[in-house]
Amino acid sequence: MNIKLYLIGLVIAFLGSSAQKEYHFYSDQPEAHRIRTVENEFSYNLSQAKDKLYINLKVALQKRTLNSSKPVTFIAVLTGTGPSKKYIITDSYYNFDGKYYSFKLPIDMTGGDSVMIQVSNQNPDLIGKTDFILRFAPDTRIANAVYLYDSNLEPIIANTLLLGQVVVPISSVDKRVYVRFYDYESQKTCFPTSETPTVKNYKPLVKKINSEVSFYLEQKGFYEFASDSLFANAKTIAVVDNIFPKINKASELLKPLAYLVDSVGYKSILKTDSPKKALDDFWVGFVGDKLDLTRRVIKVYYQRVYDANEKFNAKTLGWKSDMGMTYILLGKPKTIKAEEQKVVWQYDSGAEVVFVKNNWDEYIFGNFTDIRGRFTSAIDHIKQGNID
């Protein structure tokens, strides 16, 4: 038996079984921690003791009759995976500080699904009969982790590994690990001269492997390791060759020329039996017979390809990504504005390129039709040697 692997397995098992789960919540209300209406004010937070979760509530109510002496009573109904639980909260259970009624309720999350809590005021002399509804769901990022180790059973921290390397995935919750693989070669290339952008083709290969068993990284691409088929909180790894982000083979240097020709010309270039000759012929024909100028254009162009691979590599190979294409043709943006689901690159020329996040967590063109002319102009500038 490999003692080191055995000890790692014990540690993972301990984390999976004894580590506290962390919880987050979903709410029907527009504000996360505080809900205000004309009549009432509610605030709440979560607390945790070992595996038990509690909701701490503060409720402020306005009196219809200022001299009312009737006690306030709340009804709370908790609905989850098991039978509903009803709590009657009277003055012997809550605290009142002159403004807020404060009380705490236990929430059973052992079923792993969401729990809904519905609170209502039962005193007719107080305004606020409208129900107050919250939903909570468990965050299983700690419990459902997959950890990666190298062939020497040292933890892997890096997000980029070399082709041919061996990893040992260990799940904290199961004897199986889900692997999802995106092949860089199968991803289509976008052509800037097209009427519309090329639709990204995400068709990953998914398979299950045994936890604690060596896994060989035999293809260049993007790997995800997770403990479930939803790939929530997956461990992600980009697998590249030993010269990445650089490319130096003539056959590979031909591929980024997609941004300087149309789809027909690109297919013709790739069909060549002599990649080196095809590469030389292309650049001489594209820039002209001014050798020094051609060399400078080639150097800058492939430096941008290198930078795109380094900066934007993910499920799509860096230079093939929409951000990669934009960087290669237009260069580095002057300013970048980032929002939650959108990024805008701004250039001195006035061009604004919008990228929006898709369902695969990658940024794709959001205004390709509007800026397609900018790409066409950029190709002409590169042909004239105006690139730096």
Percent of the chain with pLDDT over 90: 40
Q: Is the pLDDT of residue 31 over 80?
A: no
* Ordered DSSP codes for 238-289: EEE-TTTT---SHHHHTGGGGGTS-HHHHHHHHT-S-HHHHHHHHHHHHH-S
| Residues 137-181: tens digit of each pLDDT | 544 444 457 889 998 888 898 889 999 999 999 887 778 899 999
Tell me the pTM: 0.64
DSSP 164-202: T-EEEEEESS-SEEEEEEEEGGGSPPP-TTSSSPPPP--
Top-confidence residue, 20 or 233: 233
* Whether pLDDT at 8 is above 50: no
CA dist 354 and 343 (Å) reads 6
Q: Which domains does the chain have, with CATH numbers?
A: 22-139 (2.60.40), 144-240 (2.60.40), 250-383 (no CATH)
The pLDDT of residue 18 = 37
Tokens 């729990």 locate to 115
To 10 degrees, what angle do helices 291-312 and 275-287 make? 110
**Residue-wise pLDDT tens digits, 75-89:** 777 765 556 777 888
Structure confidence by residue, pLDDT tens digits, 267-324: 999 999 999 999 999 999 999 878 899 999 999 999 999 999 999 998 999 999 999 9
Phi, psi (rounded to 5 degrees) for 88: -105, 115
Average confidence score pLDDT of the chain: 78
Residue with tokens 């934007």: 312
Look up residue 318 and give its DSSP letter.
G
Residue 302, Cβ density class (10 Å: 0-12 exposed, 13-18 middle, ≥19 buried): middle
Judged by average pLDDT, the poorest of 70-74, 123-127, 299-303, 312-316 is 123-127
Q: Are 220 and 242 in contact (CB under 8 A)?
A: no
